[in-house]
Amino acid sequence: MLNLKARETLTSYWAPGKFPLQGQQLQISEHHLDGIIRVQGVAESAAFREAVAKAIGIQPPTVGQYIRTNQYHFAWVGPREWILFVPLAKEYEYLDALNEAFAGTFTSAALMSDSRFALEITGPSAQAFLSKGTGLSTDSADFPPNSATTTRFIGMPALLVHRDLGSYRLYFDVSYASYVSAWVLDASEEFLTQSA
């Protein structure tokens, strides 16, 4: 019988022994697998906002906003789309609560945990490193902490989250993990050798 094992990281498969990257100015590591739920609805609808609040305790984030609580993180990703990040062990609990609250409405919540790959990018050179992959300004004046946006990074669609000053998280479709890992290893080299 086939014995399947849940993945813990993808960088260990695509770049064995290479991650995490640790320098004085830049640190890059793969973020552990979260429970990820895509929420779709009409932001202008009071019923939708109230249903989300009933299910998880807060209303959906507004444009560009990233909300963190002790239990979960919630990111705006588009005009009618949000992503809820929850502990992997509780993903079905949150999914069921949302779907129950959405019953009879034209809204949806869908599990997408296994479809994403995330990198943590931190340090004083995080912003300079990110600028190599996107034209989006990651300056704190333009993209402050607790912000999220969808963008293109190295030509790939990505969700970029500015968590804290100098701390970012990038989410990609899991199918891009090999390409992204190779690009990151190459593009980070100048920042890692500067700190040697």
* 194 pLDDT higher than 90: no
If you average pLDDT over every residue of the chain, what do you get? 92
Give 32-66 pLDDT, tens digit per residue: 888 999 999 999 999 999 999 999 999 999 999 99
* 93 pLDDT higher than 60: yes
Cβ-contact 14, 182 below 8 angstroms: yes
* Res. 104 pLDDT band, cuts 50 70 90: confident
Residues 35-113, CATH architecture: 2-Layer Sandwich (3.30)
| CA 98 remoteness from chain centre | 20
DSSP state of 140: T
Give 111-145 pLDDT, tens digit per residue: 998 889 999 999 999 999 999 999 999 999 999 99
Cβ-contact 39, 83 below 8 angstroms: yes
Q: Mean pLDDT across the stretch 90-98?
A: 97
pTM above 0.75, yes or no: yes
How many secondary structure helices (H) and strands (E) does the chain include?
A: 5, 11
**CB-side exposure of 70: number of CA atoms within 13 Å?**
0
Residues 18-32+114-194, CATH architecture: 2-Layer Sandwich (3.30)
pLDDT given for residue 102 in this prediction = 95
Residue ranges covered by each domain of the chain: 18-32+114-194, 35-113
Pairing of strands 27-30, 81-86: unpaired
